[in-house]
Structure 1
Amino acid sequence: MQASITNSTTRYGWVAIILHWLIGIIFIGQFMLGFVMVRIDSQRTAFELIQLHKSFGFLLLGLIILRIGWRLGNAAPALPASTGALERRTAPLAHLALYVFQLALPLSGWTLVSVSMLEIPSMPFNLFVMPNLPLGLSDTAENFWAAVHWYLAYAGIALVVLHALAALRHHFWLRDNVLTRMITPSSAPDME
C-alpha cells in the first residue's frame, strides 16, 4: 500500500506534511532574515536582503492560502484517545492562531511596503513586479505598519515555539503519534 496525498482519520497526507514543513521553514527563516536585514551596515546588502525577505513573504502568503484551502478540504486526523479534554479544546484554537498569524504577517508586510514613502517596487525573486495595495503613502502609516509587522513577527515566532514544544511533549513525554504523523504518512495502522 502506498502513502496517501490526502489526510486520513489517523495520519496526515503528503500534501499537508509538505506544506506544514515548507511553511514552517520559511516562517522561521523569514524571522531570522528580518532580524538580520535591519541590523546590517551595508545599504546594498540590506536592500538585497529586504527584497529577498519580501520575495519569501509573498511565497509564504501564497503557501498559507494554499494550506488553508487544503485544510478546509481535508479534515485533520483525530487527536489520540489519551488526549485530555482541555487540550482537545485548545489545540484547534492554537492551530487557528498559527494560521491567522501566518496570514497576517505577510499581509502586514505587503501593507508596509504599499504605504512606504520610498515607493520601492517589490519584485518577488526578480520575476515580476508585485503591485502595491491601493493605499495612500504616508510616514505615519509606514511607522504604524512597521510596528504591526514587528509585533506580529515576535508573537508569531512565540506561537511557533509553543507549537514545537507541544509536538515534542507529545512525542517524548506522552509518547503518542502526534508528531510522527506530521513527519511521514503511513498506510500501516497507527500506534497511539
Structure 2
Amino acid sequence: MTARYSVLTITLHWLIALLVLFQFVSINILDGMAEGDPRIGTGYMLHKSVGITILVLTLVRIVTRLAEGFRPLPVHMAAWERVLARATHIGFYVFLVLIPLSGWAFAVTDERSLHLFGLFQIPELGLVPRQLWHEVHEQAPALLVILFVLHVLGALKHQFLDRDAILARMLPGAGRG
C-alpha cells in the first residue's frame, strides 16, 4: 500500500507543479505590466514556451502512469474518497493537457509564432474557433486551482488525520534507507 512512486514519476510531479506555479505567477505579472512595455513580448513567449513544456511533460507523465499502473489506495478509505482521489488525478491530467493545448490553439498563428525558448518554431494547430480555445484557456485554470486545493487537502488529511504513508510516496527523498 505504501509503495513509493518511481524517481521519474516523483520528478515529473514536482517539476510540473513548479512550472504550473511559474505560469500563474508569470501571467499575473504580465497582466500587471503597462501596455507597450517592451518586456511583454518576451514574457508571453516565455509563458507559451513553459506551457508547451508542461504539455509535453504531462504527456510523458500520463504514459509513465499507465506503464507503472495506479498505486493501491489505503483500505481504510471510504468509497467516495477513492472516487474523489481518482477523479482529482484524472482531472489534473485533463487540465494539464487542455490548458496548454488551448493556449497553443489560440495564441500561435501565422501572425504570432512561437519559438520554443528561442530554439525552434512551434507550428500553428489550426483548431477553430480560436475564441472558444481562448475562453477555455482563460477559464480552465480556475478549475485547476480547485483540483490543487482538493489535492493538497487530501494529502494533508492522509498525513495528519489518517497518519498513513500516502504523502511519503510522492515526496522526494522520503522513505529512503
Shift in Å, 1:186: 4.3
1:113 matched to 2:116:
no
Aligned sequence identity (%): 35
Corresponding letter in the other structure for 1:56: V
1:79 equivalent among 73, 94, 98: 73
Residue of structure 1 equivalent to 2:133: 145
Task: Give the 4+ runs in structure 1 shifted more than 4 A.
Answer: 185-188
1:12 equivalent among 5, 28, 31: 5
Corresponding letter in the other structure for 2:85: A
Check whether the contact 2:2–2:165 (CA below 8 A) recurs between aligned residues.
no
TM-score, length-scaled by structure 2:
0.89
Residue of structure 2 equivalent to 1:132: 124
- State how 1:36-55 maps to structure 2 within 5 Å: 36-41=29-34, 42-55=36-49
Residue of structure 2 equivalent to 1:180: 168
Check whether the contact 2:105–2:126 (CA below 8 A) recurs between aligned residues.
no
Q: Can you list the C-alpha shifts for 1:63-98, whole angstroms capped at 9, x where unaligned?
A: 000000000100122112222222122211111111
Root-mean-square deviation (Å): 2.0
1:162 equivalent among 134, 145, 150: 150
TM-score, length-scaled by structure 1:
0.83
Q: Which structure has the higher relative contact order (CA within 8 Å, separation 6+)?
A: 1
1:70 equivalent among 64, 67, 87: 64
Residue of structure 1 equivalent to 2:114: 122
Any unmatched runs of 5+ in structure 1?
A: 1-7
Q: Distance in 1 between matches of 2:176 and 2:161?
A: 25
Any unmatched runs of 5+ in structure 2?
A: none
Q: When the two structures are aligned, how many residues end up with a matched partner?
A: 175
SS at match of 2:4: coil
Q: Can you list the C-alpha shifts for 1:17-48, whole angstroms capped at 9, x where unaligned?
A: 10111111111221221222122115311111
Q: Distance in 1 between matches of 2:38 and 2:69?
A: 46
Corresponding letter in the other structure for 1:148: V
Check whether the contact 2:155–2:167 (CA below 8 A) recurs between aligned residues.
yes
Residue of structure 2 equivalent to 1:93: 87
1:21 matched to 2:14:
yes
Corresponding letter in the other structure for 1:39: G
